[in-house]
Amino acid sequence: MKRITVPDIVARKGKEKITSLTAYDYITARILDEGGVDIILVGDSASMVMQGNESTIPITMDEMIYHTRMVSRAVRRALVVGDMPFGSYQESISEGVRNAIRFMKEGGAHAVKVEGGMEVVDLVERLTSFGIPVMGHIGLMPQRVHQLGGYKLVRDEGMVEVAKALEEAGVFAIVLEKVPVDIARRITESVSIPTIGIGAGPHVDGQVLVFHDIVGLSGMKLKFVRQYVDGYAIFLDAVRRFVEDVKEGLFPSEEESYG
Ligand code: KIV
């Protein structure tokens, strides 16, 4: 099976939509890879989805490497992108370079994602100069939730110029999170790299969502998410039936036992 590369993703612009979902562990990554997802993002949303934190802020570099390693082991086709967590690149460019290298060497990631606008341009330039592919992330930047006062829609015309600056600095794609449809469209038309939307409408080059949201396992009901199954109810039912079967002596049966 041919691996999807960074140039493959860039070449999709205007030709074929790009699909991306999050994974934080081996089995989920296998399902996503077999399901045909192009980019598997080991998102710092793991902080909320896996660890039960209120935001993405607490997750550490070591924890992100742990998740990325599990995902990389499973993936045969998709591009694996490691999400630089809060505190892994803000202090200095050298810190950002060191941590991006960790994602690739220890986590097996093929690229990293960095939240930020003009303030990360120098870091992006440095990373890409060393051959580390970078995905940008503008619009709602969840690592800034306390400054923003919530996970709000970002209506800022200036994002078009920011996207151009990130493209110039070398990002191979940009995530647009919670951006109004018209601004997302203008950004998409203004850059020659793919835009990947999450809550940014249909006029972008691809879509990314949190896997646990689409299968009903995160407990989140968000306007921009399409939930395909109620995974929570399905698993809860299985657990309840197991408990019942054991209590009533219905499990294990003779066929489920050694003779
Ligand atoms: O951490 C994450 O999951 C993300 C996206 C959903 C874009 O950054």
> Residue 138 belongs to what domain range?
6-228
Both 220 and 239 in a single domain? Answer: no
Determine the Cα–Cα distance for residues 196 and 202; give it in Å rounded to an integer. 10
Query: Over the chain, what is the mean pLDDT?
Result: 97
Q: pLDDT for 23-77, tens place per residue?
A: 999 999 999 999 999 999 999 999 999 999 999 999 999 999 999 999 999 999 9
Confirm or reject: Cβ of 88 under 6 Å from ligand 1: no
Whichever domain contains 196, its CATH number is 3.20.20.60
Both 17 and 74 in a single domain? Answer: yes
Determine the Cα–Cα distance for residues 101 and 122; give it in Å rounded to an integer. 16
Q: pLDDT for 209-220, tens place per residue?
A: 999 999 999 988
Residues 6+ apart with CB under 8 A from 5: 79, 110
Query: Which is the catalytic residue, given 161, 177, 244, 255?
Result: 177
Both 16 and 34 in a single domain? Answer: yes
pLDDT at 154: 87
Both 129 and 247 in a single domain? Answer: no
Determine the Cα–Cα distance for residues 65 and 84; give it in Å rounded to an integer. 10
Residues 6+ apart with CB under 8 A from 201: 179, 180, 181, 184, 185
The answer to whether residues 14 and 205 touch, using CB atoms and an 8 Å cutoff, is: yes
Both 203 and 116 in a single domain? Answer: yes
Based on the structure, what is the number of domains in the chain? 2
Both 190 and 236 in a single domain? Answer: no
Determine the Cα–Cα distance for residues 151 and 178; give it in Å rounded to an integer. 8
Q: pLDDT for 77-136, tens place per residue?
A: 999 999 999 999 999 999 999 999 999 999 999 999 999 999 999 999 999 999 999 999
- Written as six digits, the tokens of 132 are 């580390």
Both 89 and 212 in a single domain? Answer: yes
Both 68 and 139 in a single domain? Answer: yes
The answer to whether residues 172 and 193 touch, using CB atoms and an 8 Å cutoff, is: yes
Both 138 and 239 in a single domain? Answer: no
Cα of 7 from ligand 1 centre, angstroms: 22
Confirm or reject: Cβ of 74 under 6 Å from ligand 1: no
pLDDT band at 153 (very low <50, low <70, confident <90, very high): very high
pLDDT value at 167 more than 90: yes
The answer to whether residues 151 and 140 touch, using CB atoms and an 8 Å cutoff, is: yes
Cα of 46 from ligand 1 centre, angstroms: 9
Both 193 and 95 in a single domain? Answer: yes
For residue 175, the ligand 1 atom closest to its alpha carbon is 7
- What pTM was estimated for this model as a whole? 0.98
Q: pLDDT for 135-149, tens place per residue?
A: 999 999 999 999 999
1 found inside a domain: no
For residue 210, the ligand 1 atom closest to its alpha carbon is 6
177 belongs to the catalytic site:
yes
Protein residue with its CA nearest to atom 5 in ligand 1: 43
The mean pLDDT value for 2-20 works out to 98
For residue 115, the ligand 1 atom closest to its alpha carbon is 8
Cα of 142 from ligand 1 centre, angstroms: 9
Confirm or reject: Cβ of 28 under 6 Å from ligand 1: no
Confirm or reject: Cβ of 45 under 6 Å from ligand 1: yes
The answer to whether residues 136 and 166 touch, using CB atoms and an 8 Å cutoff, is: yes
Both 234 and 224 in a single domain? Answer: no
Determine the Cα–Cα distance for residues 19 and 120; give it in Å rounded to an integer. 25
From the number of C-beta atoms within 10 Å of its C-beta (0-12, 13-18, 19+), residue 189 rates as exposed
pLDDT at 220: 87
Both 235 and 184 in a single domain? Answer: no
Cα of 216 from ligand 1 centre, angstroms: 17
Cα of 243 from ligand 1 centre, angstroms: 35
The answer to whether residues 115 and 121 touch, using CB atoms and an 8 Å cutoff, is: no
pLDDT at 55: 98
pLDDT at 1: 82
pLDDT at 50: 97
198, 213, 214: which to mutate for ligand 1, most atoms within 8 A of CB?
198
